[in-house]
Amino acid sequence: MSDFHEVRFPTDIARGARGGPERLTQIVALASGREVRNSRWAHSRRCYDAGLGVRSLDALAAVVGFFEERCGRLYGFRWHDRLDWKSCLPSQEPAATDQVIGTGDGTTAVFQLCKTYGAGPSAYRRTITKPCDGTVRIALDGVEQAATSFACDMTTGRIDFTPGAIPPPGAMVSAGFCFDVPVRFDIDAIEVDLSAFEAGEIPRIPVIEIVPRGRHHA
């Protein structure tokens, strides 16, 4: 994306932030007392408050500098979500069999990284567009493939198999990886009362996930 900078928000500050996935559900109460619920968004969207991670004037200056480089809300950037940044559980190391990303048909060479939450018909499949360099591992039918058999676009999360390594018909394609969340600032002004900050007041610096193209909200 031309409006996206492939840089990560200061990790030490992001670790102290608060946030997580958000959904938009419309609830209509009927005269009978029953409810009709409808999800307005097809996908969740993550929101964070970076201000909670700012603990010193130096950290605040770093955020201001980062904010100025991004021109406020104009340019997106990478965010490290300490709760959810791997294809596996946070305490584990990514394995090539963590996430099923597709099934081979003998001709398709490009597959999109994704992460599935839950199991069964209600499982949620999330598109991963910002994998971390050097962390992506791929397997076919549970057998890990050599790194030379595929290429991963770190700006889109797309896996491109080389001509001689295209998954055969029926082969399960799986992946393991670490990833960042594509976000932007949700403000165009950072307001800080330095006297209040030194007294312990936390500045509000909201950050919101950028919905990938082709993954629009309903």
- For the stretch 119-158, pLDDT in tens is 888 899 999 999 999 999 999 999 999 999 999 999 999 9
Domain containing residue 6: 1-84+181-217
Whether residue 66 has pLDDT greater than 70: yes
If asked whether residues 123 and 54 sit together in one domain, one would say: no
**How would you class 164 by CB atoms within 10 Å of its CB: exposed for 0-12, middle for 13-18, buried for 19 or more?**
exposed
- Measured CA to CA, the distance from residue 210 to residue 77 in angstroms comes to 9
If asked whether residues 71 and 94 sit together in one domain, one would say: no
Tokens representing 134 are 């050097």
If asked whether residues 24 and 77 sit together in one domain, one would say: yes
* DSSP SS3 for 145: coil
- The whole-number pLDDT of residue 158 equals 98
Q: What percent of the chain has pLDDT over 90?
A: 71
* Alpha-carbon separation of residue 216 from 37, 40, 111, 212 (angstroms): 20, 11, 19, 7
Whether residue 216 has pLDDT greater than 60: no
**Tens-digit pLDDT profile for residues 1-56:** 589 999 999 999 998 899 999 998 889 988 888 998 888 888 899 999 998 888 88
If asked whether residues 146 and 205 sit together in one domain, one would say: no
Q: How many structural domains compose the chain?
A: 2
If asked whether residues 4 and 49 sit together in one domain, one would say: yes
If asked whether residues 197 and 213 sit together in one domain, one would say: yes
Tokens representing 168 are 């055969």
If asked whether residues 159 and 77 sit together in one domain, one would say: no
